[in-house]
Amino acid sequence: MNTLKKYIFLFLSFLIVFSCVKEPQKEVETTPVPPTNPTNPTNPTNPDTFNPTPYQLAIPTLFAQYILPPVIPSNNPTTVEGVALGRKLFFDPILSGNGTQSCASCHAPQFAFGESTTFSTGIDGIQGNRNAMPLFNMAWNWDNRFFWDGRANSIEAQAFGPVVNPIEMHNTWPNAVASLQSHAEYPNLFKAVFGTTNIDSVLVAKAIAQFERTLISGNSRFDQYLNGQISLTAQEIEGFNVFMAENRGDCFHCHGNAANPLWTDNLFHNNGLDATFSDLGLGAVTGNPADNGKFKTPSLRNLAYTAPYMHDGRFATLDEVINHYSEGLQNSPTVDPLLKYLNQGGVQLSVADKAALKSFLLSLSDDSFINNPDFQAP
């Protein structure tokens, strides 16, 4: 217990100093507010038809205590009506080319808005080469780089791409918009959010992004422990100690600590999966060979629901993930220097340390998140 408190104090002190010198470059707001002129410019004669209600994000206590506010773009404030529309769109297969696949087909609530298969499969039965990333706490991605390879620069952009991807929903935006425009309900729902019945792809992506910003996970057993609500087991506490120790788990460099409730740095690393790369990851986006083999650090939250693991779903179990960092690291030109035990193949954890680390990692899973009725199909 004393060791855990010492870690929390030390890293909270570091975080306070760090946050004073590195502010996010994106505009942030703690409370979404409606536009200063709520009348849609395309419909100036009906000001009463467009008055969306500001939506207050349910920010967990530890988030408010330790980290910066979420990123809410000024041109897409979160509203009650917008979240409801985005939720409906997220679960509706109307956006796909043949009307069979929705966003939730690859990002299902029971899997923390991820998937249980190795690769995502589109409407034509074609598999991709990546495992769908779980979706939660996206509003705290201050660098605004999304997907495993960082190719989208906002949640809106992240929501935009799958509709037209030929191996995903395989539609065109004109066709998707036409389906929505001819729908009995959608034109009026868009009018309530954006002040116009003229639907376009930008408004669709904005609505989905509003819903995705509400997908907040912050009520795991470890959160409850830090909030003084429950006690952890001795094995879970020891697992945290393994996680934090540089000569044992050495996990905190990329995944944070008790003062970082995101459990990710939201950056890109080559974590020693391969000596050569069939998927360049970030390097394919930036064109910089120094970025080859780098992928976004996933959050360690909700690991109980998000198997298989890694960008390509190569590890079926959490034990395999732990074994990789313990004795399975592969060297390559861009491997992250934070992997200090690379030449030994990994940190060489004992059987007891592996079991403890797994116990701690599972304590970061949030059952209330995957069962939240507000996050299910409407």
Give the residue numbers annotated as catalytic, written as ranges: 168
Least Cα distance to 335 among 250, 254, 267, 270 occurs for 270
Record the tokens describing residue 246, joined without a space.
Answer: 């540089």
Q: What is the residue-wise DSSP string for 86-151? A: HHHHHH-GGGSTTS---GGGTSBGGGTTB-SSSS-B-TTS-B-SSPPPP--SGGG-TT--BSTT--
Q: What is the Cα–Cα distance from 189 to 201, expressed in whole angstroms? A: 15
CA distance 277 to 255: 23
d(Cα 124, Cα 243) in Å, to the nearest integer? 42
Q: Is 246 helix (H, G, I), strand (E, B) or coil?
A: coil
Task: Collapse the DSSP code of 152 into the 3-class scheme (helix H, G, I; strand E, B; otherwise coil) and give the result.
Answer: strand
DSSP 134-151: P--SGGG-TT--BSTT--
CA distance 73 to 25: 12
